[in-house]
Structure 1
Amino acid sequence: MAGLPFSFLATSFQQRRKEDDPESDLDVGLIADRDHLSEVVEVVRENLREQSDRLGFVPNVVGLDLEDVVRLARDSDPWWTTTIVDAVVLIGDRPENVPGSHRVGGENIVRKGRE
């Protein structure tokens, strides 16, 4: 996935909330610019396909573009707020830092209880 234009890749939202079980999906979230979003989502899905078949998990890849992130942040969307708290970042910025760091507009969101 090196060289792909994305800002954030995270996983294990359910595990972090201690809501996972053997039947849980592996949640993977990513943020990319609108022009590359579908390509990036498909590459991540394809890279997980063989491993998911072999190891018996279902990858749930959710892609957002930068404008989606700004809107979700601005509206204090409950799903986005939970994502900020639960995300285990694998590559890139923390999700709450993406809106301001990419000059799309909007404010950065600071997670409550975080410095």
Structure 2
Amino acid sequence: GHEMILGINHDATFGPMLMLGFGGIHVEVNPDVALSPVPLDKDGASALLDRLAGRALLDGVRGEGPADVDALLDLVVKLSQFAADHGDVIGELDLNPVLVHTKGVSVVDALLVKRS
């Protein structure tokens, strides 16, 4: 599957912000991420995903099947609602990597830091 990163950070001006990008080693070597205030609906999540330079990779390249973009968008919407509901206590939340398979997504690792 494709490695993605999803995260929540608290911005002093905008409040909880959701980050979406290509994750795993990609985020360290060639950051391709987009940020948005929360909450997001499915259209907002799709627009956020479309801001990524590597977006076309999820459609399938070099014989690899397309990724389950709908499952990824569902996760983005749910995480953004979680951030909207609990942004007052979330300092940072990182899901990296999130594997986007041809069917479904898997969160491999997560880190949650409470606001102090």
TM-score of the superposed pair, with normalisation by structure 1:
0.31
The structure in which a higher percent of residues are strand is: 2
Q: Which one has a bigger Cα radius of gyration? A: 1
